[in-house]
Structure 1
């Protein structure tokens, strides 16, 4: 018995030692490889900066092992397709990144289907590359293209901090089309999907056709999407798309498709639907359940072929759109749609802000069901003809939708359309202030009183610029909303929303704040005179080229400015907003602030049409004033400014 125990003990010792050696060998096999286009050589071992490889061909020829890193030298560029082989593991992904100083490593796909590519690979992280794909001929192409075909479930694809631009692609939609970043599952013999996808902190654009970022799959067929064939829907999971900046894309901005529980958050989409000529939206999902779209900004959507900042499209259940900022979109704030043979059920639109969106704020089309729209704040400026709600038919009208606790601040508005065609339409405890136009729905608990917003219409760029949509002390919308079950627990700014106490109306649920701190006098120049603005060289007030109203500041040929001293509180943060335009793009006009106890700040505007400028600043500990200005440094052209506001 004692001999047996001794033998067993010796066996265990040897076993543990062998396992330890094996583990050490696996861990030790991970290597770091360097790639230097200028100073490298493919005959080198590559494992030190001094012995770097040179070409993409060398990288593409290697089957990398778990834990390996591939580092491209900053300031260098490569032409062709990057397709390294191999897969990592859960605890040891393979990582692409960079080393050295200077600009990001630059990879030009030069007309290949993609510039960076993975096929049936998993546990990869691709970070901090600059990527283009343009050889002057439009065709199907991507910047980063990750493909699963018969791979089953592929895990852990992270794309972080890349700059993808100038993807000269076609304008075909979805899987067959071009994208800046595309995660794609292609049908084969094995039902497949992705799990644990993170697309984070990338810049996509300008000049990307057709889609900025999309995740899509051939395994999409189910009745919810209107497909009458064999059900093969197999959704990708744990998809997170966050902190990305998408600009100047030909079609859609960000679209997860065939996903379950995707989260799309903290993204900015600036300029979408620019070239495709077909329907597109800023941020939306398709054939995807339990999607959360939150904390995003979407603006400068082009065209009314959709053209909305956000969209709850068909093939979806329980999509939530919350805490987003939509502004200046040709097609409106949000589309909620469904074809007759598909499904769009249980969508929620809450605690969002829409400013200056056009055509229709809410576009309802098709027989969608059980949508809840509550505690949103909508602002339409003077002269707007935007329809607050437009309900149309797509194989039928909306079947059931409710609107509660929303604020419509309508300085201008078009008619409310098609609501009599909605079978079950609930409209209660909403505020409609300003213009009352044809088709406005009845509401026994409606308020038509001024909601007393801090400074409506003053939102600039960024989600934090909308302080003007908080409610001031004494607002009739404080605590007069109706309780909504499962309300998400917080408002746009993160204030708590009770499950039992009456909430505010609109997107703000905090206590009333001090009345508007707008200290700009004659900010819209509607007095017809400069006072209290002062002229330096070329400024005057003219009764043409106004953004709103009748008057604007004109800066004529040469250097000149208009300035105003405003009284402010010390140690306080303010945002100055204003609109300006210039007749010569090479002669920018500045909106700025100085003499406030800190470093002068300004924003330059080069557009020939009125563009919003926004500057946030904090007054010094003893500063009680600041000088704001609109300034043209030089040039023979003319510039104009209008609608200046300062809010705390």
Structure 2
């Protein structure tokens, strides 16, 4: 016994705590009972109010019964740690646990270091998942029929949204005549800093707008700095990304890398950003690298950098952008472009070094891998990890490491 005590005392700080199992709680919307203990599947609670009131600690787990549904707000306010997050996940068999109801928010994360997996939030008051805490992770969640599938508030930072399906978030928060102020239909809306959005499938962020005809974005950034948007599949959204910053605020240093963007809509765009002359500009230091885009309709645009564009506003490297409309649009000093392949009816920008206008020879309209003989093969400039937001992101859309001779676009041949 003495040797065991000595061994425990010699463990690094925090090691003993990290090996202490947390408490598991269970919630079953059909067969649960709020008078029960809630600590086993046989004694599950019924309502989410019991979770909201529980004194959750690092390492605890909250399990929601598959096939269950709740029209309540789940507020995740407790604080886990990086080593011992608090976990929210499904149990049992059947459909993902679903939270819904336009009368109230669905999943609200105000705490830190939560890991939320396998939960669906549908037709909620504002966002399916609202995050204002730090260090949280959404992994394999689903959100649909919301104004925003996921909203990271200004207070939220260092959160991760990965491997999730955000479908048909097609409602507007503002949709009135005049004022150039309609807003809504976001897959992900980022108002916070240093967040990672990776490996998600985002479709149908598309809604009627009185100001613009239609509106919506797979991922919109407003007043958010240093966010990394990588390896996402975007289909049939109005815009893949639009960036803006309120005067006196910033949206600086955001990175878009290895994303695949396609659409069958009549209009749309890949990236829209602004200079200092715009009411929500300037948006500085945006990097768009190794993205593949196919938007074949006539009223489409690859990228737009307007109202005072400059290299300090937008840098583009090694993208493959095919549109039925305008390949790119710049004013002012123009964006900084290189190593890309473009195809479209017209352009209003200066091609950078090694950039060409040519058919990239995609496999199909929805499969943007390169066929043999593509002019994108071997065309890319070799970039340091800072262009991708870190060395961990230097793999193509399919997970293939970048070699010495690199191809433009999201896929390496």
Matched, 1:363 2:304: yes
Residue of structure 1 in register with 2:165 after alignment: 245
Aligned mate of 2:292, from 338, 347, 353: 353
Maintained 8 Å contact 1:215/1:256: yes
Aligned mate of 1:401, from 325, 335, 353: 335
Change (3 A) 1:101 1:506: closer
Matched, 1:182 2:84: no
Residue of structure 1 in register with 2:391 after alignment: none
Matched, 1:100 2:101: no
Residue of structure 2 in register with 1:71 after alignment: 63
Residue of structure 2 in register with 1:165 after alignment: 122
Change (3 A) 1:130 1:372: same
Q: What is the alpha-carbon distance in structure 2 between the residues aligned to residue 98 and residue 482 of structure 1?
A: 43
Residue of structure 1 in register with 2:178 after alignment: none
Change (3 A) 1:299 1:504: closer
Residue of structure 2 in register with 1:322 after alignment: 257
* Aligned partner of residue 466 in structure 1, secondary structure: coil
Q: What is the alpha-carbon distance in structure 1 between the residues aligned to residue 51 and residue 395 of structure 2?
A: 49
Residue of structure 1 in register with 2:402 after alignment: 496
Matched, 1:431 2:388: no
Maintained 8 Å contact 1:267/1:297: yes
Deviation (angstroms), 1:252: 1.5
Aligned length: 365
Deviation (angstroms), 1:132: 0.8
Structure 1 stretch 155-164 or stretch 63-72: which is displaced more?
63-72
Matched, 1:375 2:318: yes
Residue of structure 1 in register with 2:270 after alignment: 333
Deviation (angstroms), 1:257: 1.7
Maintained 8 Å contact 1:332/1:360: yes
TM-score by length of 2: 0.74
Maintained 8 Å contact 1:61/1:85: no
Maintained 8 Å contact 1:63/1:84: no
Q: What per-residue deviation string (whole Å, max 9, x for no partner) do you get for residues 395-445 of structure 1?
A: xx44341222222234xx2x334x4xxxxx563332223xxxxxxxxxxxx
Matched, 1:459 2:376: no
Q: What is the alpha-carbon distance in structure 2 between the residues aligned to residue 38 and residue 505 of structure 1?
A: 52
Residue of structure 2 in register with 1:287 after alignment: 223
TM-score by length of 1: 0.50
Residue of structure 1 in register with 2:239 after alignment: 308
Matched, 1:390 2:329: yes
Change (3 A) 1:363 1:65: closer
Change (3 A) 1:416 1:155: same
Change (3 A) 1:364 1:497: farther
Change (3 A) 1:69 1:389: closer
Change (3 A) 1:71 1:482: closer
Maintained 8 Å contact 2:217/2:242: yes
Unaligned runs of 5+ in 1: 1-8, 17-22, 105-128, 136-140, 148-153, 170-177, 185-193, 220-235, 302-306, 392-396, 420-424, 434-449, 511-648
Change (3 A) 1:348 1:42: closer
Deviation (angstroms), 1:56: 4.0
Unaligned runs of 5+ in 2: 10-15, 172-184, 389-393
